[in-house]
């Protein structure tokens, strides 16, 4: 094969090149397919390789390796160049921009559900008078004085019940801080 390359380099021998092409085009195409190229790209790269062989035949030297090694080095380099030119990343179509999910992470959601269940359990254990003031304050959003008016209790009694309820809830849920 080296002699064919020398004939192409010396005087542009078309018959020598045809012999090189017939020998190496299918082998280079097969190599490209094994490297992951689709059939059309493999065919293009095989032709580009042999075109480069035609143009650069004068650069070939027996001292640096066999003709086959030289040709497959050209093929490998062309494949690398093609991969570098290909677009590795493409933006999504319009109105499909990636945004992080606003949903809570599954572990956070589970943790929050467990925390809420513990709070409900602690509130359920409060004495009825304390539970009532907590519900009026946090569910209905009433102030201490509004709770006192609704329940016909002194304001100090409402505040005492609220403070006792806070202390029990705080003690029971101290590990959640």
Q: How confident is the model at residue 95 (pLDDT cuts 50, 70, 90)?
A: low
Backbone angle region of 152, left / alpha / beta, with phi > 0 → left and psi within -120 to 50 → alpha: left
Asked whether residue 35 is assigned to any structural domain, the reply reads yes
Q: How far, in Å, CA of 164 to CA of 177, rounded?
A: 19
> Is 17 found in the same domain as 80?
yes
Give the pTM.
Answer: 0.50
> Is 78 found in the same domain as 16?
yes
Asked whether residue 96 is assigned to any structural domain, the reply reads no
First to last CA, the chain: 79
Backbone angle region of 93, left / alpha / beta, with phi > 0 → left and psi within -120 to 50 → alpha: beta
> Is 7 found in the same domain as 79?
yes
Asked whether residue 92 is assigned to any structural domain, the reply reads no
Domain range for 51: 2-85
Element (H, E) at 19: helix 14-34
> Is 123 found in the same domain as 68?
no
Per-residue model confidence as pLDDT tens digits over 36-78? 888 999 999 999 999 999 999 888 888 878 889 999 999 999 9
């Amino acid at each position: 094969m080296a002699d064919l390359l020398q004939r192409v380099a010396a005087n542009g021998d078309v018959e020598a090149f045809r012999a090189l092409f017939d020998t190496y085009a299918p082998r280079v195409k097969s190599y490209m397919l094994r490297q992951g190229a689709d059939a059309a790209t493999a065919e293009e790269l095989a032709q580009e390789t042999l075109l480069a062989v035609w143009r650069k035949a004068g650069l070939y030297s027996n001292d640096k390796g066999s003709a086959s090694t030289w040709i497959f080095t050209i093929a490998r380099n062309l494949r690398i160049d093609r991969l570098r030119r290909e677009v590795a990343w493409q933006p999504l179509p319009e109105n499909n921009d990636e945004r992080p999910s606003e949903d809570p992470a599954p572990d956070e959601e589970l943790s929050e559900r467990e925390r809420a269940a513990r709070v409900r359990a602690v509130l359920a254990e409060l004495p009825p008078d304390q539970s009532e003031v907590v519900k009026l304050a946090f569910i209905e959003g009433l102030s201490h004085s509004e709770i006192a008016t609704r329940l016909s209790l002194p304001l100090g009694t409402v505040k005492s019940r609220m403070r006792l309820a806070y202390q029990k809830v705080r003690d029971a849920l101290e590990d959640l801080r």
